[in-house]
Structures are given as structure tokens and as C-alpha cells.
Structure 1
Amino acid sequence: MPEHRSVSRRTLMAGMATLSTTVLLSRPARPATLVPTPGQTEGPFYPTSLPADIDHDLVRVHGAAAQALGTVAHIGGRILDRAGRPVSGAVVEIWQCDAQGIYRHPRAPGHDRFDGNFQGYGRVAVASDGVYRFRTIKPVPYPGRTPHIHYAVIVPGTGRFVTQMYVEGEPLNARDGLLNAIRDPQARRSVIIPLTTAVDLEAGAVQGTFDIVLDL
């Protein structure tokens, strides 16, 4: 007759524990969710009227003899939802002061000295993979604010999201009220972007990547 071996309760429980662990490890992981980009104020200097030239290149205005003052900055990134999927149909706007710290706005201090070779505003539709790109200038400080670029993202059927992009390493970041009003450290870090040399794109220029995550 075949030999029957008895199995102790301890051995049986150990086997069940191993099986349970194996089952748990084999379950597919839940998709990671990204931290939504924090919203920020639009500010008082959103254009009252849009320039005739509103493309992605703010440095070169159509018909102008020269390009804008300041350091050229190639800024791009992706518009994503919390699951990391590209947001189709989104439109991205940016606006900022010129290299003198002056906005293209009738109520901005010194607006009569605004650099006419700088658009001050740009708008692009994102690609199917959520990517956008702008050629602009590296933002500069002005009284009361650290360097920043204003952003708005319009998603048809959803609404308009406004935030600001800041530059890593700027001394005024530590004292900027709007930046430090973002209490969550991870969310605050997400809007502070390193700018590096862009010799592969344009001599003397800098580049940076600013992904925007919408809470959709």
C-alpha cells in the first residue's frame, strides 16, 4: 500500500502563508497617480487685448526688425491627467514681463517702455501626446515678485486652469508670497523648474521642462 505521511498543522499553515503571499504579489499594481499641479492666481496683467502675433515664439514678433531683449528660453512639457495620460484638445497660454520687468498691459508700471520686440503672450494647442513648446525669454524679477511665467490651460468642456512656473535657484523664491503660499512641499517643488544650457537648440539659450498635471 502507498505510504501516507501526515502533515503537521504548522507545515500546513506555513504553506498557506506562502501561497497567500504569492497570490498577493501576482496581483497587478494599481496605476500610480501624479500630484496635481497647484493652481495660482492669474494676476493683474493678463492681456486686455491679444497681440496680432500669438504663436509659440514670443522672442520674434512678426514684422519686427530685431528679437526681444533677454536670454532666450525654450520651455516645453506635457499636459497630463493624474494617471499620466495626455490631455487631448488642450490649449496652453503663457504671459510674462519683458526683460526689463514690464508687462504688456496698460496698467503695468512703465508699460510705455515695454519691449516692442517681445510678444509678452503666446498660445499653442498641445500635440496628441500632450506635448507643448514655447520659445520665450528667461523670466526676470520685478518689485515684489520672483521670476515667473504665468500659465493657463484650457480644456474644452472642462474649464481653464491657471498656475505659474518658477525658476530653480532664484534667491527671491524664498521670499515670494505666492510661491510660498503653496503649503504642500511636493506640490511647491513641482512648479519650480531647473533651467539648463540649450546649446543643442540655440547658442546662449536655456531650456526647461514644465509638465502640468490636471486634476481631471
Structure 2
Amino acid sequence: MTTPLYDPTRRLFLRSAAAATVLPFWTVKGAFAEELTRTPDQTEGPFYPNKLPLDTDNDLLVINDGITPGVGEITHLTGKVLDAKGNPLKNAVVEIWQCDGNGVYLHTADSDKKKDKQDKNFQGFGRFVTGSTGEYYFRTIKPVPYPGRTPHIHVKVKKGNKSLLNTQLYVKDHPGNERDGIWKSVKDAKQREAITVDFAKVKDSKVGELAANFVVVLGVTPES
């Protein structure tokens, strides 16, 4: 599945789309904050980009103003970043990175060996600064398997010069999860459920778009 050609209104949409994020009641500030399940820290992995792309925005499907999109199932990834007390974290930097639809990461240790397979139109990495309610938004693709790994997206949260969390999100009900050592390393059932995300079809989408929501709950309350 491919994306439509470049839309000049896309950038405006990407800046505002996160405001429409809808989360369960328990994620609202002050509502049952003691019940929030903290997002487990997971390995950063070997393929955090060693050479960042020129375009690091939150749309991984189109590089700069290109008209050829990356290949994959279009996914709108939304969520919020909350602190340990359930308060939204404003002005945190959320970074995501993942392999392209052909299973190639934006890292020379991987892409140099797979030049013929790499999707040069997939950004592979993106950033978003959270808003006043801690919201973030990315347009990307549904993750695909990587050799030895179940489909996943890497997520890093930063504030200032400090890294607050490295984690990964997974596709709910994917058969590869039970064979994935990193997914299985999360022994707490609630924490494992929190990083295993439903990729649901977007109603009335003519190109088969998906929506996924990933709430990040930090294990510490960072200083502002």
C-alpha cells in the first residue's frame, strides 16, 4: 500500500493532528493517577541513526517536499507523554525510528549491506515536540518484521539534554511477539500490554490507513 502524492496542506495537518488525540479516561490528569502503568525501559538497539536524515519531521512517509512516498501501510501514530504522577509533559522531544517496509534501518551498519533493498523514500526517523497536553503525532508505516525481531517501533523521550526513556512499541496480536526475546523480557503483564498496540483501520479511509495510540508513562517526574 502506498501513500497519495504530496499534499501542500500536509505540513499544516501534521502540526495540528496531535490535538485530536483521544485517550482513555484514566490518562486524564489527576484521574486514577495511581493506576497508571509505567512504560518499561527497553534497549535502544544498534540502529539509532548514526547519520540523521536532513528531514527529521514527524512525517516519515515523505522526505522534505518529495512526491514519492515511502512504501507501507500508512499509520497515524498518536499518543501522550505523562510523568510519574499522570501529568502531561510539555515540550518533551519524542523520537521514533524503525526499519522501512523492506526491513532496512537508516543506519550505515544495516543500509550499506542492503543498498538494493532500502526504501530511499522512507525517512526512517522522526521527531515531535509535545504540546500542552503532552500530545505527539507521527505519520509513518505499520512496522514490519526485521530478521530475528517481531515488528516494532523504537521510541525515545528527551527533555532538554536528558534522555528520559528508551522503549519499543509492538503490534497487538502479531504472532512474532511470543518469539521475540525483547518483548518477552517484559515480565509484568500490564507493562507488556501497555507497549503492545492495536493498529486499527481508519474508518472511511480510501487507502487503508491505520491508527495506533501509544501512551508513554515515565517512571520519574522530570524537572521542568
State the TM-score, normalizing by the size of structure 1. Answer: 0.82
**CA separation of 1:201 and 1:55: change in aligned 2, threshold 3 A:** farther
Question: Which residue in 1 is equivalent to 2:155?
Answer: 151
1:41-80 to structure 2, matched below 5 A, reads 41-80=43-82
User: Does 1:114 find its partner at 2:147?
Assistant: no
Q: Which stretch of the first structure deviates more once superposed, 45-54 or 156-165?
A: 156-165
Q: Work out whether residues 33 and 86 of structure 2, in 8 Å CA contact, stay in contact via their aligned partners in 1.
A: no
Point out the structure with max Rg over C-alpha: 1
Match of 1:137 among 141, 150, 156: 141
- Structure 1 residue 198, shift from structure 2 partner: 1.3
Please provide the CA RMSD for this pair: 1.8
Q: Work out whether residues 197 and 212 of structure 2, in 8 Å CA contact, stay in contact via their aligned partners in 1.
A: yes
Q: SS of 2:183's equivalent? A: helix
**CA separation of 1:66 and 1:156: change in aligned 2, threshold 3 A:** same
CA-to-partner distance for each residue in 1:106-149, whole Å, 9 max, x for gaps? 11164313111100000010011000000000000021000000
Q: Work out whether residues 164 and 218 of structure 2, in 8 Å CA contact, stay in contact via their aligned partners in 1.
A: no
Q: Provide the C-alpha distance between the structure 2 equivalents of 1:179 and 1:210, rounded to a whole number of angstroms.
A: 16
Match of 1:32 among 25, 31, 34: 34
Q: Provide the C-alpha distance between the structure 2 equivalents of 1:149 and 1:141, rounded to a whole number of angstroms.
A: 10
State the TM-score, normalizing by the size of structure 2. Answer: 0.79
Q: Work out whether residues 88 and 130 of structure 1, in 8 Å CA contact, stay in contact via their aligned partners in 2.
A: yes
Q: Provide the C-alpha distance between the structure 2 equivalents of 1:33 and 1:158, rounded to a whole number of angstroms.
A: 26
The alignment-based identity, stated in percent, is 43
Any gaps of 5 or more consecutive residues in structure 2? 1-30
Question: Which residue in 2 is equivalent to 1:195?
Answer: 199
Any gaps of 5 or more consecutive residues in structure 1? 1-28
- The one-letter amino acid of 2:47's match is F
Q: SS of 1:76's equivalent? A: strand
Q: Provide the C-alpha distance between the structure 2 equivalents of 1:135 and 1:148, rounded to a whole number of angstroms.
A: 15
Question: Which residue in 1 is equivalent to 2:214?
Answer: 210
Q: SS of 1:62's equivalent? A: coil
